[in-house]
Amino acid sequence: AQSVTQLDSHVSVSEGTPVLLRCNYSSSYSPSLFWYVQHPNKGLQLLLKYTSAATLVKGINGFEAEFKKSETSFHLTKPSAHMSDAAEYFCVSYQAGTALIFGKGTTLSVSS
């Protein structure tokens, strides 16, 4: 069975510093992987996706993630945090024949 583990429930950074949100997946096969963002009282928005093409995936708002099969990881990074990045981030796994499986989420706080 597939599963997703987000290693940090809360990450705090200062504006202008790098962001790292960690995600490990467990799957019998190579899954499709996504990162979604949820701002307060807003819907879930797709940040980026990995679907077995390039292992380094670029998304919106300067975010990117690298698929590492040997480490079963799909960590989300951004070189320089902005105040507007403060939100809840979800790592999501998708394997053919099943539904999307969400991690528990990581709350990103950005201080000035």
Partner 1 sequence: DTGVSQDPRHKITKRGQNVTFRCDPISEHNRLYWYRQTLGQGPEFLTYFQNEAQLEKSRLLSDRFSAERPKGSFSTLEIQRTEQGDSAMYLCASSLQINTEAFFGQGTRLTVV
Of the pair 21, 105, the CB lying nearest partner 1 is at: 105
Instruction: Pick from 43, 53, 56, 112 the residue near partner 1 by CB under 8 A.
Output: 43
Apex CA 3: angle with CA 95 and CA 97, to 5°?
20
In angstroms, the CA 86 to CA 37 distance is: 10
Instruction: Pick from 20, 46, 54, 83 the residue near partner 1 by CB under 8 A.
Output: 46
Q: Does 98 bind partner 1 (CB under 8 A)?
A: yes
Binders in 20-39 for partner 1, by CB under 8 A: 32, 34, 36
Burial 32-52 (b: 16+ CB within 10 A, else e): bbbbbbeeeeeeeeebbbbee
Q: Does 50 bind partner 1 (CB under 8 A)?
A: no
In angstroms, the CA 26 to CA 49 distance is: 17
Q: Which residues bind partner 1 (CB under 8 A)?
A: 32, 34, 36, 42-46, 49, 51, 90, 94, 96-105
